[in-house]
């Protein structure tokens, strides 16, 4: 079993007292770094669909030196903010080391303590080559011996994997009998579920199904073998999504 999550665009470089490890695919990341260094501000603005102010920041990411920090502490998105990192003990970090992987267009696969610096790169950015194909061999080889993958990642990053048994975790809200997905609530729920998995050392699917939080509960009728639905404010009978 492995758990996958997506990275975040917001990052920080404040150092923490956590021992880091080297990134897994240094040669591939160096190849990407050298390619991205060729773009000027206008090109970054156009390719990444970002403001000129943000393009200036991204340009700095690829041309200046930054202090490397553990990946789980570097990303500052909604998912990552749900993790009570300050409360984690040694056993929690052992769990993270064993089960968690962060997918990245720039680094490929990260462990929780992989030493990284800020960057900006999405899988769907229109550059001279396909990033899914660029990472395919590394991703496939890394996960090939796993029985199944628990995906708390977006579709954009889950698509990096071609594993035959990926279980997507789907969070929905019942609004007067209609099931809806709120992107912010989904991101919060992904982070909170990961936090609970760490604290409860979840390592099997039955235990995963029993997790409840913030009103979310696993819904057997809506779920399939590759899509586990957690619903809140839900009733007992629904048609499958």
pLDDT digits (tens, 9 = 90+) for 94-114: 999 999 999 999 999 999 999
Res 28 pLDDT > 70: yes
The pLDDT assigned to 239 comes to 47
Q: Within 10 Å of residue 29's Cβ, how many Cβ atoms?
A: 17
The pLDDT assigned to 21 comes to 97
The tens digit of pLDDT for each residue in 43-95 reads 999 999 999 999 999 999 999 999 999 999 999 999 999 999 999 999 999 99
Q: Do the Cβ atoms of 30 and 114 come closer than 8 Å?
A: no
At 234, the pLDDT band (50, 70, 90 cuts) reads: low
For residue 158, give the 3-state DSSP assignment. Answer: helix
Residue that the structure tokens 């509960």 belong to: 217
Closest CA to 3 of 228, 169, 173, 215: 169
At 199, the pLDDT band (50, 70, 90 cuts) reads: very high
Strands 2-5 and 149-151 come out as parallel
State how far the Cα of 66 lies from the Cα of 112, in Å rounded to an integer: 19
The pLDDT assigned to 235 comes to 53
What distance lies between CA 30 and its chain's CA centroid?
21
φ, ψ of residue 172 to 5 degrees: the values are -130, 160
φ, ψ of residue 27 to 5 degrees: the values are -65, -40
For residue 153, give the 3-state DSSP assignment. Answer: coil
φ, ψ of residue 75 to 5 degrees: the values are -75, 140
Q: How far apart are the first and last CA of the chain?
A: 26
The pLDDT assigned to 237 comes to 46
The tens digit of pLDDT for each residue in 113-141 reads 999 999 999 998 889 999 999 999 999 99
The pLDDT assigned to 177 comes to 79
State how far the Cα of 152 lies from the Cα of 3, in Å rounded to an integer: 7
State how far the Cα of 238 lies from the Cα of 241, in Å rounded to an integer: 9
């Amino acid at each position: 079993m492995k758990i996958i999550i997506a990275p975040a665009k917001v990052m920080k470089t404040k150092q923490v007292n956590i021992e880091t490890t080297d990134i897994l695919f240094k040669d591939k990341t160096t190849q990407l770094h050298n390619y991205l260094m060729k773009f000027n501000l206008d090109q970054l603005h156009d390719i990444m669909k970002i403001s000129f102010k943000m393009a200036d920041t991204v340009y700095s990411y690829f041309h200046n030196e930054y202090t490397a920090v553990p990946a789980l502490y570097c990303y500052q998105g909604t998912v990552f903010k749900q993790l009570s990192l300050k409360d984690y003990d040694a056993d929690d970090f052992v769990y993270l080391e064993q089960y968690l992987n962060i997918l990245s267009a720039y680094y490929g696969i990260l462990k929780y303590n992989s030493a990284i610096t800020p960057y900006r790169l999405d899988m769907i950015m229109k550059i001279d080559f396909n990033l899914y194909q660029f990472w395919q061999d590394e991703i496939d080889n890394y996960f090939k011996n796993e029985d199944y993958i628990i995906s708390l990642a977006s579709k954009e990053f889950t698509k990096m994997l071609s594993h035959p048994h990926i279980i997507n975790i789907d969070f929905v809200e019942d609004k007067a009998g209609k099931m809806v997905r709120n992107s912010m609530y989904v991101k919060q729920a992904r982070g909170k579920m990961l936090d609970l998995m760490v604290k409860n050392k979840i390592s099997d699917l039955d235990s995963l199904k029993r997790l409840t939080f913030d009103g979310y509960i696993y819904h057997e009728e809506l779920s399939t073998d590759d899509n586990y639905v957690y619903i809140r404010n839900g009733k007992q009978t629904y048609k499958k999504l």
